Amino acid sequence: LRSKLPCVGATIFTKMSRLAEEHRAINLAQGFPEFDCAPELQKLVGKYIAEGKNQYAPMAGVISLREAIAQKVFAATGNEYHPETEITITSGATEALYVALSTVVHPGDEVIVFEPAYDSYVPAIELNGGIPVFVTLHPQYEAIDWQDVKSKISPNTKAIVINTPHNPTGNVWKLADLQQLADIAEKHDLMVISDEVYEHIIFDGRAHISTASIPALAERTFLCGSFGKTFHTTGWKIGYCLAPKALTTEFRKIHQFLVFSVVAPIQFAMAEYLENPEHYLSLSAFYQQKRDLFNDAIQGIGFTFRPSEGSFFQNVSYENLTQQNDRELAERLTIEAGVASIPVSVFYNELTSYKTLRFCFAKNDDTLLRAAELLGKVI
Ligand code: PMP
Ligand code: GLN
């Protein structure tokens, strides 16, 4: 068999989680919460299963969930997405991102990707015959170099992938960034794939500025979201894609043959749970406390970092501590300290020598404190 993805193996998340399990290490590698979702939400799922909502959901998703998303997005951005024609429920953001890229990319098309990049974008581009073109940022970058972005655009550029709040750096885009993007996308007629899965995890009084809030962007954007991060339900794999009608029509042509539809009872439960905005608006404060607790605890170890602006990840540089490369160090710390992390170099297309690890702080306070203590003993 000739491989479609010859350079791809098991993802770093699978690798590090496996290594963590093998060595009984604290897993601050793969991004998932240690705590459970709300009992109220669990009860709702049980209720809808008992009520018999157990057959195929509509292809585009349960309508009450699409309506709830439309209301939530309208309240946050002033943009009205039509539940019937512009909102599709997907199997996690992963499916939304894949289908959006598949909808847009024809063989030979170039797609701009900022790196470090979440690991699913590039394979999705390549499986559709596209060519990723990288705008490379330092793991501790402070601002996007828009001149560099412009220099990477060619007549073959079809789309650009963005992610804010950003995994793995924790950086958050400012209004000026979105305006720059809108200008460039308009000028070169680019589609935008916007990964906003951490929209509700944002710190120090910042606000998430969604592509949905900027009409010039929204008209050319596939906005991909996920309830996994927002409701501590990464295992449920419920996400969504918002896009104008013409784009959604094409998106659904692919979605219907990839999964057809998504787990039904959970969609009903999510729709009801979304009625109370407190269920997601309190998330930033919840995670900010964890970020601060973790950062205070690792302060004395000698890592250098800027506090994460959003997401549940903290990147740290260890260049003052050891010259070991990040893949070896992440492995060594898992085995010797009992704390797993993600080496940030894996989020780059070519091997880099950046000395940065990513820690996930979606964990109980005592787990975070224990991890910091263990790291301090070994590094
Ligand atoms: N995008 C980013 C930036 C992520 O971190 C993740 C997963 N954690 C996803 C997409 C995928 O989301 P889902 O689990 O809903 O497929
Ligand atoms: N998004 C999660 C992370 O960045 C992991 C998702 C996965 O395991 N594929 O850690």
Residues 67 and 82 in one domain: yes
Which pLDDT value is given to residue 177?
97
The residue whose CA is least distant from atom 3 of ligand 2 is 31
Residues 165 and 245 in one domain: yes
Q: Is 137 part of any domain?
A: yes
Distance 167 CA to ligand 1 centre (A): 9
What CATH number does the domain containing 296 carry? Answer: 3.90.1150.10
Residues 20 and 76 in one domain: no
The string of pLDDT tens digits covering residues 323-362 is: 999 999 999 999 999 999 999 999 999 989 999 999 999 9
Distance 162 CA to ligand 1 centre (A): 13
Apex 215 CA angle, 214 and 221, nearest 5? 85
The bound ligand whose nearest atom lies closest to the alpha carbon of 237 is 1
Distance 19 CA to ligand 2 centre (A): 15
Distance 78 CA to ligand 1 centre (A): 25
Residue 253, H or E segment:
helix 245-258
Domain boundary among 276, 295, 325: 276
Which residue numbers in the chain have pLDDT < 70?
none
Closest CA to 230 of 291, 173, 165, 182: 165
The bound ligand whose nearest atom lies closest to the alpha carbon of 16 is 2
Distance 364 CA to ligand 1 centre (A): 21
Q: Is 108 part of any domain?
A: yes
Ligand 2 atom with the smallest distance to the CA of 342 is 10
Ligand 1 atom with the smallest distance to the CA of 195 is 1
Which pLDDT value is given to residue 379?
81
Q: Is 35 part of any domain?
A: no
Ligand 1 atom with the smallest distance to the CA of 95 is 16
Residues 63 and 124 in one domain: yes
With a 6 Å cutoff on the Cβ, whether 13 touches ligand 2 is yes
Residues 266 and 324 in one domain: no
Q: Under a CB-based contact definition with an 8 Å cutoff, are residues 153 and 185 in contact?
A: no
Residues 114 and 225 in one domain: yes
Residues 70 and 199 in one domain: yes
Query: What's the alpha-carbon Rg for the chain, to the nearest Å?
Result: 20
Residues 213 and 331 in one domain: no
Q: Is 154 part of any domain?
A: yes
Which pLDDT value is given to residue 351?
85
The residue range of the domain holding 305 is 12-30+282-378
The string of pLDDT tens digits covering residues 96-145 is: 999 999 999 999 999 999 999 999 999 999 999 999 999 999 999 999 99
With a 6 Å cutoff on the Cβ, whether 310 touches ligand 2 is no
What CATH number does the domain containing 65 carry? Answer: 3.40.640.10
Residues 250 and 351 in one domain: no
CA distances from 290 to 298, 317, 360 (A): 12, 19, 10
Domain boundary among 261, 276, 291: 276
- Label residues 223-239 b or e (16+ Cβ within 10 Å = b): bbbbbbbbbbbbebbbb
The residue whose CA is least distant from atom 2 of ligand 2 is 31
Q: Is 368 part of any domain?
A: yes
Closest CA to 31 of 282, 226, 262: 226
Which pLDDT value is given to residue 315?
97
The residue whose CA is least distant from atom 10 of ligand 2 is 31
Q: Is 83 part of any domain?
A: yes
CA distances from 123 to 8, 102, 109, 120, 266 (A): 8, 11, 14, 6, 29
Q: Is 44 part of any domain?
A: no
Residues 22 and 126 in one domain: no
Ligand 2 atom with the smallest distance to the CA of 29 is 10
Distance 93 CA to ligand 1 centre (A): 6
Q: What is the number of domains present in the chain?
A: 2
Pairing of strands 342-343, 87-90: unpaired
Domain boundary among 233, 260, 276: 276
Place of tokens 């407190």: 278
Helix axes 283-298, 365-378, angle to 10 degrees: 20
Q: Is 101 part of any domain?
A: yes
Beta-bridge partners for 157:
110
Residues 268 and 349 in one domain: no
Residues 236 and 205 in one domain: yes
